[in-house]
Amino acid sequence: MQAVTTAINRQAFSDYISLTKPRITLLVLLTTLAAMYLAAKGIPNFVLVFFTLLGTGLASASAAVLNCYIDRDIDTRMERTRNRPLPSSRLKPESALLFGILLQVLSFAILILKVNVLSALLALLANLSYVLVYTLWLKRTTPRCTEIGGIAGALPPMIGWTAVTNHIGLESVVLFAIMFLWQPPHFWALALFRTEEYRNANIPMLPVVQGARVTKNYIMGYSIVMLPVSLLLYSLNVVGLGYLVAATTLGLGFILLAATNMRSSATDRQAKQLFFYSMAYLTLLFVAMVLDCNCN
């Protein structure tokens, strides 16, 4: 009996963790930490880093949990999501809702007490934007959801910057812009090889509503704009020549794959390549920022 109880508890723990979408939260923490390093022009105060990452991570986890709670009906109709804890009935929806709210309350309390009011408000804005604007409203009504919904995902670097400086500088706006421009081609690439799943779930993603060709054109447009925007950090003297070379190389690689995807009639294979490259692109770009920060 004890072994059965232990197994159930482990499964429940694993399910609650999966609701927080740890891989997304990890990416959020990476971009937040990189922004803190740039703002501090070196290694920031350890205590400040700890509480900023804890508060931001909890906000990201809360948004993910509440997203799972709201989308549990949609998730039952999609192959990649139907085995999640809520659509598979391993967890009760009410438990997930309370868990998500608790995480956000803890996030706000930590950030406002241990970091600053501005960072706490930005994290709250990111959560509300993702949960209420993107998940509850736009995702089910318009193919523009990916673009407008990108606001939430672009805020973590700004949170990191304001945690150190307590103000929103031009540099943090550029970091926000990079994240904002990166998200649509990243998620549209995913949508291209998951189009039928989104169609079956009645979600008006761009490939479902306007087709693969239009989606590929949009991906190319965003990829082209993202390159010069990513180079603005060099113009602002935030980073050095090494970052300039890395960002240019990574950006050209993104454009090349977007062009290959646009020309290809085999949507799935090229779209998957672009999707996985986009994750590597963002990770390497922020690593390059840190490695070549113009620190005093």
d(CA 61, CA 50): 16
Per residue in 51-96, pLDDT tens?
999 999 999 999 999 999 999 999 888 888 888 999 998 999 999 9
User: pTM value?
Assistant: 0.93
pLDDT tens-place string over residues 16-29: 999 999 999 999 99
In the numeric block, which tokens belong to residue 28? 């959020």
Q: Report d(CA 235, CA 40) in Å as an integer.
A: 18
Domains of the chain with bracketed CATH: 1-167 (1.10.357.140), 169-296 (1.20.120)
CB 260: neighbour CB atoms within 10 A? 13
> What b/e readout covers 141-164, taking b as 16+ CB neighbours within 10 angstroms?
eebebbbebbbbbbbbbbbbbbbb
What are the residue ranges of helices labelled H in the chain?
A: 2-19, 22-40, 46-70, 72-75, 93-114, 117-128, 145-148, 150-154, 156-165, 170-192, 195-200, 206-230, 232-235, 241-263, 267-291
Mean pLDDT of all residues in 219-230: 97
Give the angle 122-219-124 at the CA atoms, nearest 5°: 10
